[in-house]
Structure 1
Amino acid sequence: MENSKQPAFAVSKEMCEMQNEIETYPYGLTKREYFAAKAMQGLLSVMSGLDNSQFLPNLDNTKYCADLAVSAADELLRALAKTEC
């Protein structure tokens, strides 16, 4: 299974054995989704620097942050793939 599609949180051996293929079991966030969520959290915490008129997120800068968060998650996964043992 591709690293970005693996679960962000551990799945027990028993759970894996209960399912013929873990990919078919809805076990939560993927690593990609989890990394993007963490990046989005950090980006939204500094929104005042992205918006000249408000300190709160608005539709334009949240879309930008969402795209940036997904790009950051993808880049982290690429970097991790280079260093895997």
Structure 2
Amino acid sequence: MIVEFANQLREKGVKVQEAIIESSKLRLRPILVTTLAAVAGALPLVFADGADAAVRNSIGFVIVGGLSIGTIFTIFVIPVIYQTFKKD
């Protein structure tokens, strides 16, 4: 979504860096809220106990870890890659 918003701004004549900053500002809150909601939904798997708890714990850790890494990648890495390949 950050790339899509940046492309829309670029079509309006905004420079690459300004487009990245503006699109990142617009998408930061929705990205964080979505990630936090999904992590909150997976926390019961992480803290599960009882029969087959090990399987549920593993699934929970994978979900939480994947969401965390994906969010960090989306917020920090994608804008840098976009700026690298999209020159003014």
Q: TM-score range by the shorter chain?
A: 0.3 to 0.5
Q: TM-score, normalised by structure 2?
A: 0.35
Q: TM-score, normalised by structure 1?
A: 0.36
Larger helix proportion, structure 1 or 2?
2
